[in-house]
Structure 1
Amino acid sequence: MTMDCSGGSWVVEDRVSRGQEQVVQRICARVAGPVAGAGVHVASLPLGGVEVWLDSPRHRWRFHHRMARELRLAGWHTETGSDRLVLLGWSAVCLSHRARMLGAALTGRLADFDRTAFTAVMIATRLCHAGFPIEELPAEVEARCGEALRWPARLADLDGLERRSSLEPLRLRLAQVAGLEAKVLRRCGEHLALASKVARTVAGGAGPVRARVPGSRMSPAGAGLTERMVCVSVPNSVPDAAVRAGTAK
């Protein structure tokens, strides 16, 4: 069954796409958090779509609406009820919104390497002063910067999802979104590589070197700011020679 609603703004496919249940489970568990996330359940509906419900009734309405917002950002039409959340299929409106959000990320936050460099320096310096293990510093800084960017987790949630539609307009929208996601993923990789480099510099070169993302290019402005900030923010215990070695081109 394929159902059109409001001029084809969303559709219910005759069967759930491969990997859809697992993806919905990951998205909802991440939104619900470590406590409520363990009680998230997902199941396919007989005529297409997916239903989601929680073990605990506490704050159920709030969690349902948070999950629905994140699922709509992924491109699905959702309906929230008193006891469960229903995902009904791809939405042309939601997919268009996702494309706009991805484009805005590329021209906005993900175009600002200076901000990532500044955040990485501040996090690394604070952790160093708090006695965080130096060898674990690059990975920790990279993880925290990834959380700040938000898109790495959102894209990781979609791993293994087969996105398809029986309608040509939706297939074109899905293809457009997939292309933008690939660009966002590469840009996020560049930001995380920069964060790791800054953390190693602050730590005096300690920690493994992060693999460079294929096709990535470091922003000259971002790299220059990184070097300037590292020079003024590196803890006093780090030898000057190590700082120069870490910031050398």
Structure 2
Amino acid sequence: MTMDTQDSSWFLEGPASRGQEQAVQRICARVAGPVAGPGVHVAGLPLGGVQVWLDSPRHRWRFHHRMARELRLAGWHTETSPDRLLLLGWSAVCLSHRVRMLSAALTGRLADFDKTAFMAVMIATRLRHEGFPGGELPAEVEARCGDALRWPARLADLDGLERRSSLEPLRLRLAQVAGLEAKVSRRCGEHLTLAAKVARTVAGGAVPAPARAPAARGSGPRAGLTERMVCVSVPNRVTSAGTAR
């Protein structure tokens, strides 16, 4: 079954695709948070699409609209009712918005490695002063920087989702989204690797390589801001050859 509304251009195509209910469950539970997350329920609709409802009626309207916003960012058309949220298929408008957001992330926040390095230094230094175990510091800093980037969690939510359409324009748009998501995933991995290296440095490990601009820009190495921030955060001490890495 295919439905097209002129105002929003969305399409409902038969039963939910493989992994759709699980992906919607992960997205809605993440948005709802630890309080309402366990009370999020997802089920397929007879003619296609998914319905979402909460156990607790408290703040239901607010949660529904937050969930709808994140689901629309994933590319789905959603509608809200007093007691549940309906996901009704791929939306050409929402998929185009996702393309814009992914492209903006690549040229914006994910192009700024120095910001990630600065954040990692601040987080690692604070945790270190609070007595956080040094061996666990890199993983914790990496996780917190990943939360700040937001895209690692968003991409993880869609793991295993089969995205398909019988309509050629939507198939092309879904393919474009998949290509951009792969680039964003690789860029996020670079940021998280940098965050972990900085954390190891603050904990007493090896000094990370300086942050560099993306190769596509052709601007060459930037000033070693990462190195300078690490130097002012790590105490001056002699590292023996036995502990050097």
Q: TM-score, normalised by structure 1?
A: 0.89
Secondary structure, in 3 states, of the residue corresponding to 1:77?
Answer: strand
**Structure-2 residue corresponding to 1:154:** 154
Q: Secondary structure at the match of 2:86?
A: strand
Shift of 1:225: 1.4
The within-5 A match list for 1:125-204 is 125-204=125-204
The aligned residue for residue 237 of structure 2 is 239
1:14-58 C-alpha deviation (Å, 9 max, x unpaired) = 111000000000000000001100000000000111000000000
Instruction: Give 2:88's aligned residue.
Output: 88
**2:65·2:80 contact (CA, 8 Å) conserved in 1?**
yes
Q: Tell me, yes or no, if the aligned pair for 1:114 and 1:221 is still in contact at 8 Å.
A: no
CA deviation profile, 1:180-224 (whole Å, cap 9, x unmatched):
000000000000000000000010118xx9xxxxxx98x8437x2
Distance 2:130 2:68 in 1: 38
Task: Count matched residues.
Answer: 233
Match of residue 14 from structure 2: 14
Cα offset, 1:6, TM superposition: 1.1
Query: Helix, strand or coil for the counterpart of 1:241?
Result: coil
Instruction: Answer yes or no: is the 8 Å Cα contact 1:204–1:239 preserved in 2.
Output: no
Q: Structure 1 residue 97: deviation in Å?
A: 0.2
Instruction: Give, as a single letter, the amino acid of the residue that structure 2 aligns with 1:144.
Output: R
Q: 1:9 to 1:186 in 2, by over 3 A?
A: same
SS of the equivalent of 2:222 reads helix
Q: C-alpha distance in 1, partners of 2:54/2:14?
A: 25
- Give the match's secondary structure for 1:171: helix
Displacement after TM superposition at 1:145 (Å): 0.3
The answer (yes or no) to whether the contact 2:13–2:89 under 8 Å persists in 1 is: yes
Q: Is the 8 A contact 2:51 2:87 kept in 1?
A: yes
TM-score, structure 2 as length reference: 0.91
Q: RMSD between aligned alpha carbons?
A: 2.0
Aligned equivalents of 2:238, 2:30: Cα separation in 1? 42
Specify the SS of the correspondent of 1:144: helix
Partner amino acid for 1:110?
L
Q: Which runs of 5+ in 2 are unaligned?
A: 209-213
Task: Identify the residue that residue 98 of structure 2 maps to in structure 1.
Answer: 98
Correspondences of 1:214-229 after superposition (within 5 Å): 220-221=221-222, 224-229=224-229
Matched residue type, 1:227: E
One-letter amino acid matched to 1:85:
L
Instruction: Give the 3-state SS of the residue equivalent to 2:18 in structure 1.
Output: coil
Question: What residue in structure 2 maps to residue 27 of structure 1?
Answer: 27
- State the SS of the aligned residue for 2:229: helix
Residue 95 to residue 226, structure 1, CA distance change in 2 (3 Å): same
Which structure 1 segments of 5+ residues have no match? 210-215
- For residues 73 and 8 of structure 1, do their structure 2 counterparts lie closer, same or farther at Cα, with a shift above 3 Å needed? closer
Distance 1:114 1:245, change over 3 A: farther
**1:73-99 deviation digits (Å, cap 9, x = unpaired):** 000000001000000000000000000
CA distance in 2 between partners of 1:239 and 1:21 (Å) = 53
CA–CA distance in structure 1, aligned partners of residues 13 and 55 of structure 2: 27
Q: 2:183 corresponds to which letter in structure 1?
A: K
Whole-Å separation in 1 of the counterparts to 2:99 and 2:226: 31
After superposition, the Cα gap between the structure-2 partners of 1:233 and 1:7, relative to the gap in structure 1 and judged at 3 Å, is same
